[in-house]
Structure 1
Amino acid sequence: METTLEMKSNQLVMTSSLQRQKWCANQFLYKFQNFWFPLTYLEATQKVLENFKPVPKDVILASFPKTGTTWLKALLHSIINRSPKQDYNNNPLISNHPHDLIPSLETNLYDYNTKKTEFLSVKNHKDVRILATHIPHQILGDVLNSSECKVVYVTRNPKDTLISLWHFVQKSKSFGDDPWELEVAVDQFCNGIVLFGSYYDHVLGYRQECLKRPQKVLFVTYEEIKENPEYYVRKIGEFLGCPFEGENGDVEIEEIVKFCSFENLSNQEMNKSSELSSMFPLPYNSFFRKGEVGDHMNYLDDEMIEKIDGVTREKFHGTGFVYGI
């Protein structure tokens, strides 16, 4: 189905015709450069491509939605902004949600309601800006490669990603009488018709860039970090040029891992709040559900699992990336 996008007067005007597909909650996704976007994020993505200028000190956290973004934001903030005598009683993560400390390019900074313009100005090129994005590398790559900024990409088992996304979007009040049935969600996920999808192409884009430019892109999985968080906190610090050294470094790593654990973060008052977040029309507490590996087994039947695994074998295993099953 073809549709011409007409933006409001205070938004970017787009005149190209794009393929449109119904997604869920009576919402449509639009196909842009082989990926699917809600209208609002499509407009914001176009603004990012035209206006965002990364600088060498920038750290960009890239991810497909619901693959561990919130946790990685907390970890990156703690790794980069640590001090020799960190006072965790006054840690900004106690009074601020991770998504407010590390804004997203397309959902915080370049949407027409943005209130985070201070993040867009570079006052001191020695300062480190930590920014996030769900935009695929196939679309954002030229922008990211225009500077020496570092990219950390996190991915997650496709089945757990789908279940986390399924739970997340159903918390929106916009669903009304149009729930996102799980069978439909599985089909759409496998066909790539989900926000910022296809998931598989999204993951492979950043993985291929990591293989090509390992000094530029660090590719990590949610499961690896969950299994050995101390190792990956150290690895991320080294990649970003702020290594943990000596016995004090070991202590710092232990403190960061403990403070940024799901149990600790999910129990902070801000993260338990039902107040609407600054980036989505959803409450802050919707970003913390379980954080478990293998949660999909509680929801997907054998047929659904085999369907997703079949796509995983084709998309991932067929390219030499043995992951997800």
Structure 2
Amino acid sequence: MMSFEQNKEEEQSLQKADQSFAEFLSTLPRDYGWTPLFDCYLYQGCWYYLFFLRGVIAAQQHFEAQPTDIFLCSVPKSGTTWLKALVFAIVTRKKYSDLSSHPLLSTMPHECIPFLEVDVDAFVSLWNFANRVTPKDTTHISLEEALELFCKGVSYYGPYWDHVLGFWKARKEAPQRLLFLVYEEMRKNPLPSVKNLADFIGHPFSVEEENEGVPQKIAELCSFENLSNLDVNKKGKHRPESAVAIENRAFFRKSKIGDWRSHLTPEMAERLDQITREKFGGTGLPSYVSDANTHDMHKE
């Protein structure tokens, strides 16, 4: 137990840290975010909500990565939940060999693999997610307003194009350390992606596992159709005791490629296409990422 003096010193230290952070915050560019509850702050080229910005800076200052660490880095609503489920199932498959009682059947993927910043075409999905986590009694951001912010780069961990390009360039520089995954590829044919992912993170499937159909079973366990219909992902909340409690079902929408047609006008789609062509053209990114005219390949 801490003495009164120790408690007092810790309290004063926290107050100084809060004051220092508030002063630092006042120096950052600021814009209104995708929900009316929080503003976004531009820090080192990316836009963050205040809650996540504190975590980002704390991780930069105190977290020390180990050679065996595995990091999942993605723009929100670009397949993050699915990827977390796959990695968790692959790495722990010997411990949880009985898939009928697997933790993913009763625990949502974000609980199995925490966010570093919190626990230590993605546009339409992001807009839907922002509205689903915004309380019903507050004004929701319109699609037009969200598009304007997105094109300016003001989105969770945005700008989106800079995020993709940053990891694409890093992958070309150090392919042995970074696996670049594309949602459309994984959605069309998940089994090769599951095997590739297992190889990359150092947990390849054995011949025996291949013969027993383990990769296919993991792909089915982690499929959107399976995860989205589990009670744990239809009910309850993620971090229910925190200020950013989110209903689990908000992480599972449609997982449908091309659903953007139900929301965007041709003019809106062309605006996003033009930016994508300008940003990704000539980079060597897969054609359905760099050639935005291929609308059928766009994720919802």
Matches of 1:166 and 1:200, distance apart in 2:
16
**Counterpart check, 1:311 vs 2:272:** no
CA–CA separation in structure 2 for the residues paired with 1:241 and 1:233: 13
Q: For each residue in 1:44-69, what CA deviation from the matched residue of structure 2 results, as whole angstroms up to 9, or x when unmatched?
A: 10000001111122111111111000
Could you tell me which of 101, 108, 124 is aligned with 1:163? 124
Match in the other structure for 2:250:
286
Distance in 1 (CA, whole Å) between partners of 2:272 and 2:257 is: 16
Residue type of the alignment partner of 1:22: Y
Q: How does 1:54-73 map to 2 (within 5 A)?
A: 54-73=65-84
Report the counterpart of residue 36 of structure 1 in structure 2: 47
Q: Which moved more, 1:25-34 or 1:173-182?
A: 173-182
Q: Give the CA deviation at 1:10.
A: 8.4
* Corresponding position of 2:6: none
- Letter matched to residue 193 of structure 1: V
Match of 1:299 among 254, 257, 263: 263
Q: Provide Cα deviations, 1:145-179, integer angstroms capped at 9, x if missing partner.
A: xxxxxxxxxxxxx2xx1111111111224464432
- Match status 1:22 vs 2:32: yes
Alpha carbons of structure 1 residues 234 and 38: separation in structure 2 relative to 1, 3 Å:
same
Specify the code of the residue in structure 2 equivalent to 1:226.
R
Determine which structure has greater relative contact order: mean sequence separation of CA pairs < 8 Å that are 6+ residues apart, divided by chain length.
1
TM-score by length of 1: 0.78
Which runs of at least 4 in structure 1 moved beyond 6 Å after TM superposition? Answer: none
- Is the counterpart of residue 272 in structure 1 residue 234 in structure 2? yes
Q: Take 1:11 and 1:164, find their aligned partners in 2: how far apart are those partners?
A: 36
| Corresponding position: 1:225 with 2:186 | yes
Name the structure 2 match of 1:192: 153
Cα separation, 2, equivalents of 1:293 and 1:93? 24
The 1:11/1:303 distance shift into structure 2, 3 A limit, reads farther
The CA distance in 1 between the partners of 2:198 and 2:141, in whole Å, is 39
- CA offset digits 1:111-147 (Å, max 9, x no partner): xxxxxxxxxxxxxxxxxxxxxxxxxxxxxxxxxxxxx
Give the paired residue count: 268
Trace 1:126-205 onto structure 2 (pairs within 5 A). Answer: 158=121, 161-174=122-135, 176-205=137-166
- Classify 1:68/1:186 alpha carbon distance in 2 versus 1 (closer, same or farther; 3 Å): same
State yes or no: 1:9 paired with 2:20: no
Residue 248 of structure 1: CA displacement? Answer: 2.6
Give ranges in structure 1 of 5+ residues lacking alignment. Answer: 1-7, 110-157
SS of match in other structure, 2:278: helix
Kindly name which structure, 1 or 2, has the bigger radius of gyration based on alpha carbons: 2
Q: How far, CA to CA, are the matches of 1:92 and 1:281 in structure 2?
A: 21
Check whether the contact 1:24–1:178 (CA below 8 A) recurs between aligned residues: no
SS of 2:255's equivalent in the other structure is coil
Which blocks of at least 5 consecutive residues in structure 2 are unaligned?
A: 1-13, 293-300
Matched, 1:261 2:227: no
Q: CA deviation at 1:34?
A: 1.5
Name the CA shift for 1:57/1:283 in 2 (closer, same or farther; >3 Å): same
Range 214-223 or range 54-63, more displaced: 54-63
What's the C-alpha RMSD, in Å, of the aligned pairs? 1.9
How far 1:29 moved relative to its partner?
0.8
Report whether the alignment pairs 1:246 with 2:207.
yes
> Residues 4-42 of structure 1: CA distance to partner in whole angstroms, max 9, x if unpaired?
xxxx83865323311111123332111111211111111
**For 1:244-282, what per-residue CA distance to the aligned partner results, in whole angstroms no more than 9, with x for missing partners?**
132532511111111111111111111111434457421
Do 1:94 and 1:268's aligned partners in 2 also have CA atoms closer than 8 Å?
A: yes
Cα distance between partner residues in 1 of 2:115 and 2:207: 34
Q: Distance in 2 between matches of 1:170 and 1:74?
A: 24
SS in 2 for 1:29: strand
Distance 2:171 2:102 in 1: 32
Instruction: Give the percent of matched residue pairs that are identical in Structure 1 and Structure 2.
Output: 36
Higher normalized strand content (fraction of residues): 1
Q: Specify whether residues 64 and 234 from structure 1 end up closer, same or farther in structure 2 by C-alpha distance, changes over 3 A only.
A: same
Shift of 1:191: 1.1
Indicate the residue corresponding to 1:140 in structure 2: none
Question: 1:74 corresponds to which letter in structure 2?
Answer: A
* Residues 25, 176 of structure 1: 8 Å contact kept: no
Aligned in 2, Cα 1:102/1:276: closer, same or farther, shift over 3 Å? closer
